[in-house]
Structures are given as structure tokens and as C-alpha cells.
Amino acid sequence: MRQEEMDQKREVEEEEYNKWLQIKRENERKDLEEYEIMQLKKAEEQRILDERAVFKKVSEEIVSSIVKWVKVKRQVKFQDIMVKFRLRYRDIIACFEKDHEVPNGHLVLDKECGLLVFVSKEEASELVNRILVEGRISYSDLVAC
């Protein structure tokens, strides 16, 4: 009889231990899920902060710097502007979508080639005269102007 009591007691203890172990594992799983969610939130917040730090807003100072640079180089790729001034593609497009008149010329946005091109007033008037004379010109003729 004594042995049976000890076996029953052991079984009860084992059941209690198994219940405790199951509860402990469930709590650990919940803690791990909460930790992972918290880490994901932190990573998203950091990504947003990094994005804000990397990309600048287009200010008049940046626009004037881009204009000066394009006037010197005659044509500049969007990628170069994006890297040098830490701007987004859409910000460059929004800023220069309209024909920008600058002293002694115009800045023209070529979305197909991804270029910002400076055209002097002399070149523009030569182009207008050529179009008036010939009617229509090809892109290669335009580049040759």
C-alpha cells in the first residue's frame, strides 16, 4: 500500500511539474513574440529616421547649387544629382518639371534619358530658327545643335 501511495504522489507531482513546464514554455513563447514585435517596431522607426536623415528636402539653396552645377557640366544625370545632393528621384522631377529659366538660358528635364540639361539662350534661338526652317528635326540633329 505504501508503494501505491508513493506512486500516486509521484504521478501527481509529475502532472503538476508538466503543467508548470507547459505554462512556463507558453510564457516564454509569448515573451519571445513580444520581443520580436518590439524589435520590428524599433527597426521600422530606425528605417524612418534613416530615410529622413539620408534624403534632404529640396531648398532654394540646393536648387541654386544644382543649377550652377548643371550650367558648368551642361548636362547631369539624375543619379549624380541624387547622390551628390541626397535627393529622391521624385523630388528632382517635382522641382525641375517646369522649364527653369536661369540667367543666360534654360534648364530642361529629359525624363527618358534621366538628364537635366542646360540650354543657353543662343542655343535655344538657334534651335528655334532651325525648326522654323526645317519644320521638324530628329533627336540626333537636336543633340548636334
Look up cell 537636336; give the residue. Answer: 142
Claim to verify: residue 123 and residue 69 sit in the same structural domain:
yes
Claim to verify: residue 6 and residue 64 sit in the same structural domain:
no
What is the structure's pLDDT at 52?
63
Rounded to whole angstroms, how far apart are CA atoms 101 and 15?
Answer: 84
Claim to verify: residue 37 and residue 68 sit in the same structural domain:
no
The count of structural domains within the chain is 2
Could you report the per-residue pLDDT of 82-125, keeping only the tens digit for each?
888 888 888 888 887 765 667 788 888 888 888 888 888 888 88
pLDDT at 131 over 70: yes
Confidence class for position 145, pLDDT limits 50, 70, 90: low
Claim to verify: residue 140 and residue 90 sit in the same structural domain:
yes
Provide the 10 A C-beta neighbour count for residue 133.
8
Could you report the per-residue pLDDT of 25-37, keeping only the tens digit for each?
999 999 999 999 9
8 A C-beta contact, residue 85 and residue 65:
yes
Could you report the per-residue pLDDT of 40-52, keeping only the tens digit for each?
999 888 877 766 6
| Whole-structure pTM value | 0.52
Claim to verify: residue 126 and residue 67 sit in the same structural domain:
yes
Beta strands in 60-120 (DSSP E): 75-77, 100-102, 105-110, 115-120
Q: Whole domain around residue 101: which residue ranges? A: 60-144
Claim to verify: residue 68 and residue 48 sit in the same structural domain:
no
CA atoms within 13 A on the CB side of 110: 17
CA atoms within 13 A on the CB side of 43: 6
